[in-house]
Amino acid sequence: MITELAFAVVGHPNKGKSSIVSTLSRNDSIEISARSGTTTEADCYEVTVLDTGYKLYDTPGFQRPRQVLNWIKSRAENASERPQAVKEFVNNAEAARAFPDEVQLLKPIIDGASILYVVDCSNPYGPEYEMEMEILRWCGQPRMALINPITNTDYLKDWQDALGQYFNLVQVFNPIKANLDNQIELMDAFQVLSPVNKNVLASIKDALKREVTIWQKQSAELLASLLVDVCSYKESQKVLTEAQAALLETELKRRFESNIKQKEQVALQAVKYLFRHMRTQAVIQELSMPPDLFDVSQWYLWGLSKTQLITSLAVSGMVAGGAIDLVVGGASFMLGTAVGGLTGLASGLVSSETIDKLKIKNVPLVGQEACYGPIKDYNFPYVIINRFLHLFTQISHKNHADRRNIEVNIPSWDLILEGLDERIRRRLQLHCARLVKQKYVDHQDLTDILYEVLIIGADKH
C-alpha cells in the first residue's frame, strides 16, 4: 500500500535529479540525459516496497528563480504569509503561463511533499542558487539537500557550507554508486527531519531490507532449477538402425547446445527482472560445452528393458493372438499363431537372441536411440554456478540510474569455493556430484546452499 509520504526532487537543471529518482524508485525506464531540460513536467512515481511505499516526484529544473522569488515576495509581508504566497503562485493562471517550470516543481511541495534539493559539487557554488533555496525555504516543508558528485568532489566543501544555511540536513548521495545502505541512510535522516513520518519511514526501511533478501533467495531458487535442468538435459531421437543414429549426431549436438544456452539465458534474464533491471543488456562470454557427448544405445518397445520386454511378450495376449512375427534369415514365421496360448513355449521362443528380430504388425520391437547428453563432466555444475554468480553480483549491485551495459568476465570456476565454510563447501560438492551422476537432490537443500554461495560470492566482489 502506497502511504501518503512523498518527496519532491527539485533543483537546477541538469544536476542529476532524474538519476536520483531512478535509483530511489528502482526504475530504469526514467529518461536520463546530459541534455538540460529532459524533465518538463512533474512526474509522480509510486515506489512500492512489499506492502508499503511512497511517492517520488521528478520535477523540471528552476528556470527563472529571481522573478519567481520577487513575485512571491510581493505577496508576503512577513514569514507567516510565505507558505500561502507560494500556494497563490502555484494556483495563479498567469504565473503558470509565465513560469511553467517553477509552478510544476512547486505544486507537489504545496500538496505536502518533502523536499530533496539536488546540486552537483563538480561545479562551483554560485549566488544564483540562493534564490532557488530561498523559494524552497518559504514553502515550509521538511527539506534535505543532496550533493551529487557527478564527475568529482572539487567544490564539496563550498557547497556544504552554503547548503547548511538553508537546509536542515545535507548529505552526499551518488545515484550511480549508492548501495542499499546509502538509501537507508536517507530514510534515517528524514526520520530525524520529519518526526511525524517516523513510523512510516521505519516500515519502508524494513521493507527495503526484506525485499532485497527475497530477491536474493528467489535468485538462488532460479539457479537451483537451472542446475537440475541443464545437468539432466539430453537430446535424443529413436531410429531403426545404428547407421541412421550416427547421422543424427550433428543435429542433436546443435539442438542440445542451443537449448542449454537458452535455458541459461532465461534464468539470467529472470535475475535481471527480479532486480528490476528491465533494460540492462548483459554481455557474457559464450558457454562452452565438453566434447564427446554423443551416444547410441538400443531402445525397446514401450520403454521397457530387454528383460522386461521378453517377460511382457511371453505372458501377453499378443503371443496368443498371432500378432508377433519372427523374421529369421529372411523367412517370416507367425510365432503367435504357432504357439497359440502356450505362454510357456512362448517364453522359450521369445529369447534374448531372437527379440531383436521381432516385429508387431511389421513394426520392429527394437531399434537404436541416438542421444546427445547429459553432461557428465564434474566441473560443469560449477561452471554454471560461476557464470550465474557473476551476473547476479553485478545486477544486485547495480543502481537503476546506471545505464551502462554489463560485461561479465568469468574467472576460474574454482574460485567460487573460496570463502565458503567447510560445511557449505562439502554440501555443495556433494550436490554437484549427485547432479552429474543423475541422482536425486533435494531442491530446497540445494537452494539453501546456493543462497549462501551467492551472498558470500557477491560480498567478495
Rg (CA), the chain: 35
Q: How far is C-alpha 74 from the geometric centre of its chain's CA atoms?
A: 53
- The share of the chain scoring above pLDDT 70, in percent, equals 80
More confident residue, 419 or 51: 51
The H helix count followed by the E strand count for the chain is 18, 15
The CA distances from residue 244 to 261, 296, 368, in Å, are 27, 10, 8
pLDDT tens per residue, range 13-39: 889 899 999 999 999 988 886 665 566
pLDDT of residue 337: 44
Return the CATH fold of 6-193. Answer: Rossmann fold (3.40.50)
- In this structure, how many other beta carbons lie within 10 angstroms of the beta carbon of residue 270? 15
How many angstroms separate the CA atoms of 351 and 340, rounded? 17
The β-bridge partners of 6 are 55
Instruction: Specify the higher pLDDT residue, 297 or 405.
Output: 405
Query: Which pLDDT score is estimated for 325?
Result: 47
Query: Hey, where are the domains in the chain?
Result: 6-193, 209-293+373-460, 295-372
What are 444's three cell numbers?
530446497
Nearest Cα neighbor of 54 from 200, 198, 165, 175 is: 200
- Any idea how long the chain is? 461
Task: Check: CB of residue 120 under 8 Å from CB of residue 15.
Answer: yes
pLDDT at 1: 61
Please state whether the predicted TM-score (pTM) of the whole model is above 0.75.
yes
pLDDT in tens, 133-179: 999 999 999 999 999 999 999 999 999 999 999 998 999 999 999 98
Three-state DSSP class for 296? strand
Contact 432, 446 (CB under 8 A): no
- The set of cell numbers assigned to 251 is 543435429
Report strand pairing: 114-120 vs 235-239. Answer: unpaired
Q: pLDDT value at position 417?
A: 73
**Percentage of residues in the chain having pLDDT higher than 90:** 54
In the block, which residue shows the cell 542529476? 16
Rounded to 10°, the helix 249-274/198-232 angle is: 170
pLDDT of residue 312: 52
Distance between CA 81 and CA 27 in Å, rounded?
38
Residue type, 408: V
Average pLDDT over residues 117-139: 95
- How many Å separate Cα 312 from the centre of its chain? 51
- Is there a contact between 396 and 27 (Cβ–Cβ < 8 Å)? no
What pLDDT does residue 320 have?
44
Which residue carries 529518482 as its cell?
A: 21
Distance (Å, whole) CA 388 – CA 393: 9
Taking CA atoms, 360 is separated from 356, 365, 368, 380, 457, in Å, by 12, 7, 17, 42, 58
Beta-bridge partner residues of 118 = 11, 146
**Alpha-carbon distance 62 to 76, whole Å?**
21
pLDDT of residue 408: 76
- 297 pLDDT band, cuts 50/70/90, is low
Q: Which of 272, 291, 266, 267 is nearest to 380 (CA)?
A: 291
Residue 330: its pLDDT value, please?
40
Give the distance, in angstroms, between the CA of residue 339 and the centroid of all CA atoms in the same chain.
Answer: 65
Q: How many CB atoms lie within 10 A of CB 362?
A: 8
- On the question of pLDDT at 298 being above 60, the answer is no
pLDDT of amino acid 326 = 43
The torsion of the CA quartet 182, 449, 384, 396, rounded to 10 degrees, works out to: -10
User: pLDDT-derived band of residue 343, with 50, 70 and 90 as boundaries?
Assistant: very low
Residue that the C-alpha cell 563538480 belongs to: 122
Buried b / exposed e along 343-353 (16+ C-beta atoms within 10 A): beebbebbeee
Residue partners of 395: CB distance under 8 A and separation at least 6: 271, 272, 275, 277, 280, 282, 406
What is the DSSP code (8-state) at residue 168?
A: S
Most confident of 30-34, 143-147, 382-386, 416-420: 143-147
Q: What local confidence, expressed as pLDDT, does residue 91 receive?
A: 97
DSSP 415-427: GGGTT--HHHHHH
Residue 13 in contact with residue 61, Cβ under 8 Å?
yes
Rounded-to-integer distance, Cα 165 and Cα 143, Å: 12
More confident residue, 297 or 160: 160
